[in-house]
Amino acid sequence: MSGTASVFHEIARAEWAALAAGMQAPLTRAEITALRGTGDPLDLREVQDVYLPLSRLLSLYAAGAQRLYSDTRDFLDGAVSVPGVTPFIIGVAGSVAVGKSTISRVLRELLSRWPGTPRVDLITTDGFLYPNAELQRRGLMERKGFPESYDRRALLDFVSAIKSGEPRVTAPLYSHLVYDIVAGAEVVVQRPDVLIVEGLNVLQPAPQGHALAVSDLFDFTVYVDAAPQDVEEWYIQRFLRLRASSFANPDSYFHRYASLSDEEAVATARDIWVRINGRNLAENVLPTRDRATLVLRKGANHVVDRVLVRKI
C-alpha cells in the first residue's frame, strides 16, 4: 500500500476468516463454478474464508444505513419529500483481470441471502462506455476503459436515480462478445435493497470543474488489489483461455486472435496490456485504491491473502 495505508486496519487472511466462524457459506460448488470468471480459482474455501465475512460486514453496514435513512426520514417528515427506501450502493473497483467481476457476482449472491437485503442487483460500468463508433470519432479506441471513454454524466445520472428511489431505472447493455454497446437493449433496475456497481474507474474523484463523482454516492467501496506484474500474467493467461473459447466464435470482436499460436497470443496479450490495460491501471485505477472502504489484497496465486479495512 502507499504512504496513506495507515488509514487502514490490516487483517491477515486467517484472522479475517475467523470472523465467519460458525457461519455456513450458502453457496454450493455448482453455484460457485457458475459465478467464477475465466481463470479465477474461486472455490468453497475462498468463499468461506473471504467473502462470507465480507458479506456479513456489508449486511451490517446496510442495516446501519437503513436505520439512518429511516431516522432522517422521520426527522424531515413534512419538511421535504424523502423516498421510502434508499438503496445501499456498493462500488467494486480494480484492474482488468484482477477478479472484480467474480467478486461482485459472489457478493450479489451472498448478500441476497441475508434477511435484510433480499433484493440485490449488479450493474457494470461497461454499459456506460461510449459506443465504439463514438470512441472512434473521438480517437479513444486505444483508450477504451480509461476514464474519458465513459459517459460519466450518464453513469452519475443512473446512480443518482437509484439513490433517490426512482422505481425503474435503465442502463445500456454492453456485450463482451461484440465488444460494444448493444443498440436498443437495456438493463432494468427496480428499487433494489442493494446495488453493486462494478468497474475499473468507479472510485475516481470528480473531474476538475465537476462538483460530484459517482463514488460520492456509494455507501461502501471495495478495491480488489494485486501486484501489477501478477495481474499482467493473469491477463495473459486469460487471453490464452479466451482464444480457445469465446474468441473462436465468428461473431466475436476478437475472432482474429483465435488462430494465433501460443507465442503470438502471448506477445499480443502482453502488447495490449502494456499499451492499454497496464497503463490505465498505473495512471487511473491504482491511484484510487486508498479511497476504498475495504481492500482485498490478492497474492500471486490469485487468492486473497489479507484484507485492509478503513479505520472508523
Q: Alpha-carbon distance 246 to 254, whole Å? A: 8
Average pLDDT over all residues of the chain: 93
Q: Alpha-carbon distance 41 to 184, whole Å? A: 35
Q: Which CATH architecture has domain 5-310?
A: 3-Layer(aba) Sandwich (3.40)
Q: Give the pLDDT band (50/70/90) at residue 83.
A: low
SS3 189: strand
Residue type, 40: D
**Residue carrying C-alpha cell 461473431:** 251
φ, ψ of residue 164 to 5 degrees: the values are -85, 0
Report the length, in residues, of the chain. 312
- The pLDDT value recorded for residue 211 is 84
What pLDDT, in 10s, does the model give residues 86-119? 899 999 999 999 999 999 999 999 999 999 899 9
Helix (H) or strand (E) holding 182: strand 180-189
Q: Give the pLDDT band (50/70/90) at residue 84.
A: low
Residue 2 confidence (pLDDT) above 80: no
- The pLDDT value recorded for residue 85 is 72
SS3 175: strand
**Residue carrying C-alpha cell 470512441:** 135
What pLDDT, in 10s, does the model give residues 185-229? 999 999 999 999 999 999 999 888 788 999 999 999 999 999 999
All three cell numbers of 252? 466475436
Determine contact, residues 162/57, Cβ cutoff 8 Å.
no
Cα–Cα distances (Å) from 196 to 52, 258, 279, in that order, read 16, 33, 26
